Amino acid sequence: MNRILSKNAVDSPVLLAPAEVPGQVRPATSSPRSFDESRAFLEERIAKFSRLVFLLSTTFFGAGWLIAQAWEPSSEEYRLPPGASQLFHLGSMTVLLAMWMVTRCAELSLNALRRIDAAGTVLASLGTIGACFSIPAVQRPELLTLLSLFPFLLYRAAIVPSEPRRTAWIGVCAAAPVVLMTYMLYTRESPAHRSLSPWVNTVQSLLFGAVAVLLSSAIARVTYRLRRTAREVRRLGPYTLVTRIGEGGMGTVYRARHALLRRPTAIKILKPERATDVDLARFEREVQATSLLTSAHTISIFDYGRTPDALFYYVMEYIDGIDLEQLVQRDGPMPPGRVVAVLSQVSEALSEAHAAGLIHRDVKPANILLSVRGGRPDFAKVADFGIAKDLGGNDTVTAENLVPGTPAYMAPETLQAPDRVDARSDVYALGATAYFLLTGEPVFAGRAMEILAQLLQDEPVPLSKRLGRPVPASLEALVLSALAKDPDDRPESAVVFSQRLAACSDIPAWTAAEAAAWWRGRGESIKKKRSSDLMAAESAA
């Protein structure tokens, strides 16, 4: 698979909550699943973090008690208030000890560990803040607090795996009380004892707290990228990842090479941040659904597995070509004969899937790849069965909580009556794809919700009017019939759609010679640039 997926609202896959559509209600989510490798890694890091900070905190507490017993200033303003500071310090230590013990003794889910990390960090910080602000104002407790929080937050960012944004929010929750306590402390102090304005002290606390948050976020960003880079260059079994060649909402696709075989492959890896229960189930189902299909126009699956740190991946054939979205963006609308030739192949792949009880649900130009295969130019392959629906099953992965699809290619019943989604929904997407290929524009455009509103309310603009020149009447009629709001008014299956394509007699044929000429010209220039990029990446690897 060799393409770059568009990020705009028209072409990007979205998972829309039914509650966003009038008359729809968001159902409950699916049950949780344990991801042992990721859970164990996070568990080990939280235990290491909480253990070291607990031991250091205990050492400081013991040293402070010994110093207080051995030597105490005679001035009352330096005398520690009995109990308050020590109790807060003990509370912080208790939180850290609890984090350590829980991560050592209990087998918690990944989400539970993330909550423990966030809650424990904030609660331990509050204990430290309370302990420091229990001492007299003359000792500048806000500076002592920030001095304690700085290494605490930075060490957590370095040791505990966490996204930069999440690290920033935890840092804000931990440091913000320092600013509030500083303002409250110095505004209560009598003017005669103030060395500085309360606002000066408060702004100083705010600046130092902001620096702590920014530095911890920067550290988290560096470690996060280093871990991702390490994943990108390592081996997955007998496969070595070479370079990234595409990215979608759920996964990233890499060009890979096998240790023994010369066959080029592509590997799709589920994004770590998308490793939720529902996403992993969808990803696994994409492998299972696609591997059952044998059409020459469906991407073939070779292998699949999981890495030791719970990255799910699968291996598929590598298509050295271009997707239809890229082709139209580069060259403009396609000739009608070429559209018919390509969509006939796509219909063949979908016909097999429909016969097996599978509905693709995300047919669009970006998921249709063209290449030269076995000496045949313009050979089409259908990819990404990640949100396919099994008509013979319960479809619990998506039906329970999400309405999947890409707005510009989504059939109206996907929103209005998800239980009516069937082969005719893929026929609608075929019609929307044909509309884009023939005009260079989607049926409806705009933001995601604007597209959905038009999808439910507006009729498509005729192709000839949109394009500004005639389109073969039989082809235009077929495309508009496939875009009918009511599924009963569309061709009833991909087989019927393919038959009506073949019956379009007023369309100049797209010959093999024309296809070969395109690939010798435009196609070869695309492939040469890509090949040079891949060779450079392979040399570096």
Q: Look at residues 177, 208, 239 and tell me which one is the last residue of a structural domain.
A: 208
- Nearest 5°: phi and psi at 360? -65, -50
Which pLDDT belongs to residue 493? 92
Closest CA to 476 of 376, 360, 340, 285: 340
Which pLDDT belongs to residue 17? 39
Domain with 342 in it: what CATH number? 1.10.510.10
Q: Is 96 inside any structural domain?
A: yes
Same-domain check for residues 201 and 331 = no
Concatenated DSSP letters of 140-194: -HHHHHHHHHHHHHHHHHHHS---HHHHHHHHHHHHHHHHHHHHHHHHHS-GGG-
Query: Which residues lie closer than 8 Å to 321 by C-beta, 6 or more apart?
Result: 2, 369, 370, 371, 372, 523, 527
The answer to whether 210 and 171 have CB atoms below 8 angstroms apart is: no
Mean pLDDT taken over the chain:
79
Q: Which has more confidence, 30 or 122?
A: 122
Q: Which has more confidence, 284 or 516?
A: 516
Model confidence over 30-47: pLDDT tens digits? 322 333 556 777 888 899
Distance CA 224, CA 158 (A): 10
Residue type, 142: E
Distance CA 514, CA 502 (A): 19
Q: Is 430 inside any structural domain?
A: yes
Same-domain check for residues 396 and 521 = yes
Q: Is pLDDT of 240 > 60?
A: yes
Which pLDDT belongs to residue 30? 30
Q: Which has more confidence, 270 or 474?
A: 474
Identify the sign of the CA torsion 445, 446, 451, 457.
Answer: negative
Distance CA 93, CA 207 (A): 27
Same-domain check for residues 334 and 187 = no
Closest CA to 475 of 500, 439, 511: 500
Which pLDDT belongs to residue 22? 35
Tokens of 31: 């049950």
Tokens of 265: 């492959």
Model confidence over 133-154: pLDDT tens digits? 777 776 778 778 888 888 888 8
Highest mean pLDDT among 18-22, 160-164, 395-399: 160-164
Closest CA to 134 of 83, 202, 77: 83
Residue found under tokens 């253990």: 51
Which pLDDT belongs to residue 384? 79
Q: Is 57 inside any structural domain?
A: yes
Confidence label for 324 from pLDDT (cuts 50, 70 and 90): very high
The answer to whether 349 and 363 have CB atoms below 8 angstroms apart is: no
Which pLDDT belongs to residue 497? 95
The answer to whether 157 and 125 have CB atoms below 8 angstroms apart is: no
Distance CA 324, CA 440 (A): 11
Which pLDDT belongs to residue 527? 63
Tokens of 408: 């510009």
Cβ atoms within 10 Å, residue 360: 28
Closest CA to 389 of 362, 369, 364: 362
pTM recorded for the entire structure: 0.58
For residues 264-291, give the mean pLDDT: 76
Count of domains for the chain: 2
The answer to whether 114 and 141 have CB atoms below 8 angstroms apart is: no
Q: Is 390 inside any structural domain?
A: yes
Model confidence over 497-514: pLDDT tens digits? 999 999 988 888 899 999
Catalytic residues: 362
Q: Is pLDDT of 305 > 90?
A: no
Same-domain check for residues 349 and 476 = yes
Distance CA 241, CA 112 (A): 32
Which pLDDT belongs to residue 221? 87
Which pLDDT belongs to residue 388? 55
Q: Find the range with the poorest average confidence among 64-73, 142-151, 211-220, 393-402.
A: 393-402
Q: Where are the beta strands (DSSP E) in 324-476?
A: 358-359, 368-373, 376-382, 389-390, 403-405
Distance CA 475, CA 335 (A): 12
In total, the chain counts a number of residues equal to 541
Model confidence over 153-203: pLDDT tens digits? 888 888 888 888 898 999 899 888 888 888 887 777 655 455 557 778 788
Which pLDDT belongs to residue 466? 92
The answer to whether 149 and 182 have CB atoms below 8 angstroms apart is: no
What is the helix (H) or strand (E) element at residue 280, kind and residue range? helix 277-291
Q: Is 276 inside any structural domain?
A: no
> How far from 142 is each of 21, 133, 195, 238, 428, CA to CA, in Å?
50, 7, 14, 56, 64
Give me the residues paired with residue 370 across strands.
322, 380
Q: Is 514 inside any structural domain?
A: yes
Confidence label for 417 from pLDDT (cuts 50, 70 and 90): confident
Same-domain check for residues 335 and 203 = no
Cβ atoms within 10 Å, residue 418: 18
Same-domain check for residues 345 and 481 = yes
Q: Which domain holds residue 362?
A: 323-528
Q: Is 332 inside any structural domain?
A: yes
Same-domain check for residues 203 and 341 = no
Q: Look at residues 180, 208, 236 and tell me which one is the last residue of a structural domain.
A: 208
Q: Is 31 inside any structural domain?
A: no
Q: Look at residues 208, 238, 267 and tell me which one is the last residue of a structural domain.
A: 208
